[in-house]
Chains A and B, each alone.
Chain A
């Protein structure tokens, strides 16, 4: 539910009188939660045909509430039904994304920003840990998600300090007041099993959803190993990777309750348990293991006291636990040292946040959003000690509609994160000279406070630096969006500058310590296209160019590319679903990347091809599909950014069933 706003894109003017806007509010106990409403999407897209025949709906885009003038990509997971993709693979459907692969975690990097500079929110709850390092995407079960919105560029003014590269908004299934369910079971190479089940129901007054997901993989894929790489006479062997198994379980409970005619309450509870092996390198096997536990809880109330006024309040809690431990003889050299004494060395983090927000349209051509947040992060870690810091935020965003075709979107946010505070301004503009074309431009600036890890973590050979300054950065981008009833084309160019970038410098005997060392720039562009040439066929492609430069450093490294930032990536996908049959093929190519500051060593690029097909066995009472998929179809030899081997060719078979539902981009209704 949102305040009704003018929609210049429909050529209509805002009429009527509106109540005055509520003033900015002092700290109160409230929660953030994504208010993804049907109205948002109606404002954004062109005319929607809702028919019983399966005409494809227009390609989805970020809603106005999410980002009025910026550039982003929406990934609806239903379009990938029957395919087994994890969250990282879903995020890579969009241009501008890179995934940092390492045995300890897979993290998101947007437009060349680091994982700590790219925010990830699940139903509005920030997942980035105060301890630092980004959020491990493998701890987020893809089967619980319904929609992912990737917003590229500096989003600090809207989503808070730290969003230098952008934001990924992950959303679980919305409650639509209908009943149904789904079950999915997959089995694949390397002893991989996945199960997901969900049930939902309700009506106008109340609705709810319960979902569960289970995962298990042995991870014992064969990895190439050359014991003496510079010796041409030596044989290369392929041995199964040991200690690479993982298992996890997740659950989700959501509920919605109508409070009268103009108010609703929403609740969410999400839990995740996981354990995985950290296999080490082929030269240094490792017996370390990593345990993870997460609990998210949120409650939100929203109401519309007046026709064009929305007020909301909510509270959220994120509880994360993580431990790395070993009982084995292989210590490896990458993982943390084994814990001494009894028990695992749990690192526990809690983040509590309360939020008040409001939206109003005081005059016909203006929509104002205001927000206040207060919260705190607590960390109890064997490597950081016990740490705590407050978070405060006040934000104001405006959308100004000049005529029917121009939107200006200024925004300003003040954040305080522990001892660091700053302003994050942003200005965006959009112009729609004709119905099909929209030109946009944006500029934004924000900062990232050092993480607890950078400030306080002293563990083994890693030292802390409590005197660190925040990183600051600004981004400018411009481009256009072309919308057709069956197609979308988006082209963007951007420039981003970061100052006082925090990097770890190696000190004596392998010790490393963080310093505000560098200024950097990232510039490039993204092209994204999605097209339904036929009712049953979807074609999509994305290309991103991301050139980086080190702007402040020793003359030896000045002007070099940043490492772990592959500059080019191309992705294409074709998917078809007609009647009882479905199929897809997908390919992505990523260029090589430097892996050190001196740009003397690099990781090769590579191409991955994935394909699959499925058959609908029956459609009553539930639709039952059987599908098969091959990943890395050409068995490319892949390595992560630390040189660890990645799986070769893999096969998966999936059986899925779901209750009847509204027409989707590919499905016919019975």
Chain B
């Protein structure tokens, strides 16, 4: 017995020490621990201004207080838009008569929207924006959500925060952060939209594709994908995840978003390190190889993908290592951005776009100029290609290339480190650019005579936090 006690004493001593030790949770400067999680009391509607303070109804948490979204007014504890609410037209309680509509805050005859029966009345509503009749008469949006494009959702603009592991919803009309944000992603790298109702996010460190419901930002499904997912493209009910860790395209069937399934995997070969991709109109996915100067293609027009022969890009004159990254397709031409970096991954010269004509096989190059260095991902609107020029993470810009003239026609001087670009197809002139050196994104409005650039911070204040991607719903 004595020997047993002697043997056990050291272990007991150790266990006693361990049991008495408590850890200390730490949050970034802008956040506070509430219920074991870091949260920002300025924007969290469930902890607004303090842990446990909930904004009810339509109210959001804005600057630490419960309030209506910008552009809305509180009428009897309900947030509404006085410009188009037939029951509060121009002012709370000012109801338009039957058969009238509310336009710009004034009642007028007729109905350009939809007539929806409410009790014994018929009200003229815009089902694209009316939270009580969202997308259809009688479809009321849950508390905290808005009717955005006919869909009940928390937001219609999304930004991902790498270290917090979150996808933050915003209202694009006012760049207002709403809550809650989707969390639990280990370093979200890329975002995509699935149909009208879901946001996809790829975890760069946990290698998981997450499916979030836009109405709640709750997770509805997930699937492990090939390692180091860099980009997600969606076509129909399938997500195409470009994996640089395993040199392949991982195709996920999202017919049931709650139960994602692998539909296909197409290997691209050893040492490819695929980064970005874009579909052409025939269903072929064009993919850049970061480690070689090649363009790969996979024909996904059928049920399973068929990889084509890699194409050598013309990199003549590139001063450093090309590092092909972003891909865009305009008409017959595939465009591939070339980082052009030296051995320390610093810009070695001007950014370039390598070009490939699909029908003729001709290869070429577009010089993006001295102010566009380290170009990365791209987005296309019509015949214009928006190129995120990351630079050395200090003085980046977005270069706009006209595909017809093959020239840079505009430069949007954002500064910072533009990493990914999203274009609002529903609002021409609106551009969103993820800032990989900052806590948020650049919201650019080119619709006026001069472009305005607003920096929107969405991620917590921490030395190692940054915005990885931005997604806008048309």
Contact = CB atoms under 8 A, between A and B. Distances in A.
A543 to B, nearest CB: 12
A509 B18 contact: no
A479 B6 CA distance: 8
A331 B270 CA distance: 12
Interface in B340-367: 342-345
Interface stretch (A178-186, A296-304, A553-561, A610-618): A553-561
Interface stretch (B85-93, B243-251, B379-387, B402-410): B243-251
A555 B27 contact: yes
Interface string A107-129: 00000000000000000000000
Contacts of B370: none
A555 B14 contact: no
Interface in B188-212: 205-207
Contacts of B270: 282-285
A283 B12 CA distance: 47
Indicate the size class of the contact surface on chain A: 35 or more
Contacts of A497: 21
Given A283-B245, A551-B21, A506 B464 contact: yes
Among B18, B37, B250, residue most surrounded by chain A Cβ atoms (within 10 Å): B18
Interface string A170-198: 00000000000000000000000000000
A519 interface: yes
Given A282-B270, A508-B437, A495 B206 contact: no
Interface stretch (A149-157, A333-341, A404-412, A533-541): A333-341
B271 interface: yes
B436 interface: yes
B16 to A, nearest CB: 9
Contacts of B38: 554-556
Nearest to A459: B344
A525 B205 contact: no
Given A230-B226, A508-B417, A340 B23 contact: no
B1 interface: no
Contact of B186 (A551, A558, A598): A598
Q: DSSP majority for the B interface? A: loop
A236 B54 CA distance: 54
B14 A228 contact: no
Contact of B162 (A283, A506, A525, A553): A506
Contacts of B436: 508-509
Among B9, B187, B343, residue most surrounded by chain A Cβ atoms (within 10 Å): B343
A391 interface: no
Contacts of B26: 552-554
Nearest to B19: A523
Contact of A598 (B10, B205, B224, B345): B205
A476 B187 contact: no
B419 interface: yes
B278 to A, nearest CB: 20
Nearest to A230: B262
B432 interface: no
Contacts of B68: none
A478 B27 contact: no
Contacts of B187: 506
Interface string A326-348: 00001111000111100000000
Interface stretch (A13-21, A207-215, A370-378, A486-494): A486-494
A51 interface: no
B318 to A, nearest CB: 15
A186 to B, nearest CB: 33
A228 B343 contact: no
Contacts of A524: 14
Contacts of A494: 14
A521 B466 CA distance: 29
Nearest to B463: A515
Given A283-B246, A507-B466, A515-B463, A491 B7 contact: yes
A22 B247 CA distance: 67
A635 interface: no
Contacts of B37: 555-556
B193 to A, nearest CB: 23
B247 A230 contact: no
A601 B224 CA distance: 11
A515 B17 contact: no
29 contacts: A227-B246, A228-B248, A228-B266, A230-B225, A284-B247, A284-B273, A458-B344, A461-B345, A477-B10, A478-B10, A478-B13, A480-B6, A491-B7, A491-B10, A507-B466, A508-B419, A509-B436, A519-B23, A521-B18, A523-B14, A523-B15, A524-B14, A525-B11, A525-B14, A552-B26, A553-B26, A554-B25, A555-B37, A556-B165
Given A478-B10, A551-B22, 9 more contacts: A229-B226, A230-B265, A330-B271, A331-B291, A340-B343, A507-B464, A554-B27, A596-B205, A601-B206
Interface of B: 6-7, 9-15, 17-18, 21-27, 33, 36-38, 162-163, 165, 184, 186-187, 205-207, 224-226, 245-248, 250, 262, 264-267, 270-271, 273, 291, 342-345, 390, 393, 417, 419, 436-437, 463-464, 466, 468
Interface of A: 227-231, 234, 282-285, 330-333, 337-340, 439, 458-461, 476-480, 491-495, 497, 505-509, 511, 513, 515, 519, 521, 523-525, 547, 549-556, 558-559, 596, 598, 600-601
